[in-house]
Amino acid sequence: ETGVTQTPRHLVMGMTNKKSLKCEQHLGHNAMYWYKQSAKKPLELMFVYSLEERVENNSVPSRFSPECPNSSHLFLHLHTLQPEDSALYLCASSQEGAGSQYFGPGTRLTVL
């Protein structure tokens, strides 16, 4: 595998379910990010991790819970979501100081 991978690519869940999104980067980067892409809205930054520590939480509801166990893996744990949380969730990674972020293909989430 190369670049940034995300699983699953598609996820349908009910409002009472608990699920997790996984991201893995194979680029040797030390920072990882979660973004949300909704229809008709700009991409929104959700979380930033640097050296496995969360450095930014962009006013995201607590029903989204990130986890970064090491510099290569990033998770987004989901529970009691709302239908308006349906979106494409994108993971990205970068090397601190380089600026450029590299994105995975995203997970298309549908909340029923």
- Using CB under 8 A as the criterion, which residues of the chain lie in contact with other proteins when the complex forms? 4, 6, 30-31, 33, 35, 40-43, 45, 48-50, 55-56, 58, 90, 92, 94, 96-106
- Least CB distance from residue 66 to other proteins, whole Å? 13
Q: Which is nearer to other proteins, 44 or 79 (CB)?
A: 44
Quote the CA–CA distance of 36 and 27 in Å, as a whole number.
22
Q: What are the Cα distances from residue 22, in Å, to 18, 39, 68, 97?
A: 14, 22, 10, 25
Q: How far is the CB of 93 from other proteins (least distance, A)?
A: 10
Q: How far apart are the first and last CA of the chain?
A: 32
User: Based on CB atoms, which residue is closest to other proteins, 15 or 57?
Assistant: 57
User: What is the CA 78 to chain-centroid distance, rounded?
Assistant: 11
Residue with Cβ nearer other proteins (7 or 58): 58
| Minimum distance of other proteins from residue 106's CB (angstroms) | 5
State phi, psi for 84 to the nearest 5 degrees.
Answer: -75, -5
